[in-house]
Amino acid sequence: MPKKSLTASPRKTPRSRTPQVHEAAVAIFAANGYESTSMQEIGEMLGLLKGSIYYYVDSKEELLFSVIKAVHSEMMANLERAKGRQGDGATELPAFIQDMIELTLDRLEHARVFQSEFRHLSDEHRDEISRERRQYETFFQVLLSDGQREGRVRTDIDVQILAVAGLTMITAIPTWYRRTGKLSRRELVSGYTALLMSAYQPPHS
């Protein structure tokens, strides 16, 4: 399968181009995959001479980590907002689910790279992201556990299964959703949230 052709206009301020390097990496990694992408291709997309890309990043793996870390940092900021949210148990769970979906759609290409290329990170970088991700999963489980105690979430299925199933559905969005498709962003957010909340309700409620 031929690689997608991606082009970008050269910038005029080389020392401020690290964000553009990251943007180019996201676009090419998402389109062609990490293994099929060379650092030279990323440099060429930005009009950089061969080897100049290393002025901004040490290695391709370090660049992949920076891309994944960027979206993961937003996830952690989302987590802190959720922890500080003032609301009752009936609103906190759907609000957290909706926030996760919204963030995925805000950073669709980042999330696609995260989903498909995470395995290419070094052990050290994978461990760092995994430690943070467990905080996210733990908070989700806490919300579900609170719902179980209050009778709003089913108790016939272990809370870990409920959390992992929900996260898996959300992280799968980048594998099939396209902004140019028939589903609008609003339809996806409302539909996914409604589907998960329905799945979490106690049977026959």
| pLDDT tens figures, 102-129 | 999 999 999 999 989 999 999 999 999 9
Domain positions in the chain = 14-55, 67-200
Q: What is the pTM of this model?
A: 0.82
Quick one: DSSP state of residue 158? -
| pLDDT tens figures, 159-186 | 999 999 999 999 999 999 999 999 999 9
* Cα–Cα nearest to 39, from 23, 18, 25: 25
pLDDT at 169: 95
**14-55 placed in CATH 1.10.10:** yes
Q: Residue 10 to residues 29, 85, 116, 159: CA-CA distances in angstroms?
A: 19, 42, 28, 50
Question: 3-state DSSP call for residue 12?
Answer: coil
Q: Is the pLDDT confidence value at 190 over 70?
A: yes
Same fold, 14-55 and 67-200: no
* CATH number of the structural domain 67-200: 1.10.357.10
Give CA–CA dist 122/111, Å, rounded.
18
Query: Any residues with CB less than 8 A from the CB of 193 and at least 6 apart, and which?
Result: 94, 97, 98, 101
| pLDDT tens figures, 52-67 | 888 888 899 999 999 9
Q: Which amino acid is at 103?
A: L
Report CA 151 to chain centroid distance, whole Å: 31
